[in-house]
Amino acid sequence: MSDRDAHEAEGEGGFDTELARFVLHLRSRGLTEPSLLNAFERTPRALFLPETPSHLLYSNLHLPLPCGEEAIDPATLARHLVLLKLQPGLRVLEIGTGSGFMAGLLARLGCSVVSLERYLTLVRGAERALSRLGLHHVELHQADGLARVDHLGGFDRLILNGTVDALPNHVFERLKDGGLALGARKRSGTCHLMTWHKSAGRVIEPHDHGISRLPPLRDGIPAVL
């Protein structure tokens, strides 16, 4: 990354301050794992949301993305990363790339990442941001992450960056035995954050982590965008 790129990555007028405040906020919530904090500190969100004012980058708002999508707030992403019990070397499948920020955090945590996004516009934007950070080992695809995709192999972790009415069985088939999936599911008209474990070839009864604000996860690949 050039000096100019590095300067832009650090942001203008208050970006560092906002990031420092965010890290302190995570610490106040008991999220003190050094690798997690380091991942946020080394993955400037401004590169992934270049049109967003710096004072909003680390707010608790879901910020607008092209194609009518939303970027999940970073505090929620931090919670998801903790619930996933990540370790370096794990193979992670992400459904819903969005801005690419979550994929960047996963890569910083030492995971091998395959990320699927239905909008080519978002794939290209994420590619640019990840490339500028030198994170070339993240594999991005335009694809319907909820459809059957058999050529990607198995994964230790599965992340759905959105809410579904029900998770298709073939999605769970992508999980290796002992794997863990995270996403949101509608229950009695309300969205709940869930984790699913796979053991002895079966998905164990999911664990409910409470109300979720994750946006709907759409299927299909649009003809444009």
Residue whose C-alpha is closest to residue 48's, from 106, 114, 139, 129: 129
Mean per-residue pLDDT of the chain: 91
Contacts of 47 (CB under 8 A, 6+ apart): 8, 9, 129, 132, 133
Domains, the chain, ordered by start: 63-211 (3.40.50.150)
pLDDT score for 1:
40
Query: pLDDT (tens digit, 9 = 90+) per residue, 31-74?
Result: 999 999 999 999 999 999 999 999 999 999 999 999 999 999 99
Confidence category of residue 205, pLDDT binned at 50, 70, 90 = confident
Query: pLDDT (tens digit, 9 = 90+) per residue, 154-197?
Result: 999 999 999 999 888 899 999 999 999 999 999 888 999 999 99
- 15 backbone dihedrals φ, ψ, rounded to 5°: -60, -45
Residues 177, 59: Cα–Cα separation, whole Å = 37
Quick check: 142 and 119 in contact, CB under 8 A? yes
Q: Strands 155-164 and 202-203, how do they pair? A: unpaired
Residue 1 to residues 134, 139, 201, Cα–Cα distance (Å): 7, 20, 44
Q: What is the DSSP letter of 50?
A: T
Q: What is the pTM of this model?
A: 0.92
